[in-house]
Structure 1
Amino acid sequence: MANNQIQLDRIFAALADPTRRAIVMRLCDGEASVGELADPFDMALPSFMKHIHVLEMSGLVQSEKAGRVRTCRLRPEAMVGAEDWLQHQRAIWEARLDRFEAYVMKLKKEKTEKPAVKRPSASKKGKA
């Protein structure tokens, strides 16, 4: 359980950065070399490689080096834990919202069913 939590933390931390999310989105189209992945970004290669390293540590990306070229590919199975967690959270919030809706509807129904309370008019107050 603790290991799953650590892996989940790594995945969400990796996806918290817009550069890394862009890399993951690019890899959805298929594998690519680090050079191809780095091309759209205005940063030095060592800085870009830190992003690749974070993605590899999270398990989202796998890379292989063949000669001088490092190729990266997406590991979609790594998202299963995060997907399960998100579905669980969605179920919790949907149940809460359903209970809230039922409560609001109950209040609305009670309000419409209550008879109007007659208030004494101002002119009758002074007469006794």
Structure 2
Amino acid sequence: MAAMSISGLAKAGGVGVETIRFYQRKDLLPTPEKQAGNDLSGGIRRYGEEDVRRLHFIRAAQQAGFTLEEIRTLLSLDAGQDRARARALAEERLVQLDEKIAQLEAARASLRQLARTCARSEEGPCPILQSFGV
């Protein structure tokens, strides 16, 4: 793959240019030096296959629910191949996800019960609105 502009990197990663810049500000993606250009352009930054790989890694880690700080740690582990620490981070994240899933399942069950109660009668105040304090 030939060197690409920031817009090419964004397209290859399925994100917007501002997302690339955000990741750069958060030190998740490196900001390459500008290559020499003419007097008007002032040069252009070029990105390569490693930048695309890193961007895909960041996006996949976000999809798995890792925070940006955790992703930064994972990226540093990626370079050092610290499998035990990477596994520990994944296991911690699994515990957090299990807790979140339990909360969401409880919320779903509660809302399902409220909807059933609401459907039983058209009389009086709405139990859904009442439960939310309206």
| TM tier, smaller | 0.3 to 0.5
Q: Greater strand percent: which structure?
A: 1
TM-score, normalised via structure 2 length: 0.36
TM-score, normalised via structure 1 length: 0.37
Greater relative contact order structure (CA < 8 Å, 6+ sep): 1
